[in-house]
């Protein structure tokens, strides 16, 4: 359980293990349930196109007390990249916490922030973590540059 009282559903861990062990899933998007009591799987996809994943994250919505704004999300993405100097291909499972600076309602943003550790602690085998708050930080090249150099 997180500081906010939010729990992680078993499906979150099951889908992560499918991605990690089966390599058939490319990414998983997690969200808070409508009552803000559980972290649930919003989508698990085999789609290899970063732009489709990025669009889903950036266009997510959250509502609270009849108001709607941009929605924070957690995601797992299985990055595959080439090492410099032709040293081969690597995979890294990356935890992404997306919480846009503008247009996000306060309650969802704060609940996501205080619940992140509960999900991270439930997912064993993460290779890197990325906190993204604007569009530049959720660009494939930005994340890849950081994780391939071991910065994140």
Check residue 3 and give its pLDDT: 64
pLDDT at 101: 87
- 6-22 in b/e form (b: 16+ CB < 10 A) is bbbeeebeebbeebbee
- Compute how many other C-beta atoms are within 10 angstroms of the C-beta atom of residue 24: 10
Record the pTM. Answer: 0.91
Query: Is the pLDDT higher at 56 or at 152?
Result: 56
Please write the tens of the pLDDT for every residue from 80-106.
888 777 778 888 999 999 999 887 788
Task: Tell me the per-residue pLDDT of 33-80, one tens digit each, with 9 for 90 and over.
Answer: 999 999 999 999 999 999 999 999 999 998 888 888 889 999 999 998
């Amino acid at each position: 359980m997180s500081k906010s009282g939010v729990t992680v559903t078993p499906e979150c861990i099951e889908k992560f293990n499918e991605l990690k062990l089966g390599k058939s899933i490319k990414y998983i998007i997690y969200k808070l349930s409508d009552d803000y009591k559980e972290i649930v799987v919003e989508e698990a996809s085999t789609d290899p196109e970063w732009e489709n994943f990025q669009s889903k994250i950036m266009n997510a919505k959250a509502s609270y007390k009849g108001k709607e704004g941009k929605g924070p999300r957690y995601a797992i993405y299985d990055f595959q990249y080439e090492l410099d100097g032709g040293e081969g291909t690597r995979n890294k499972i990356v935890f992404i916490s997306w919480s846009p600076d503008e247009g996000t309602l306060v309650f969802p943003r704060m609940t996501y922030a205080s619940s992140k550790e509960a999900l991270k602690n439930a997912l064993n085998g993460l290779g890197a973590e990325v906190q993204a708050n604007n569009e530049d930080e959720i660009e494939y090249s930005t994340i890849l540059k950081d994780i391939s150099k071991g910065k994140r």
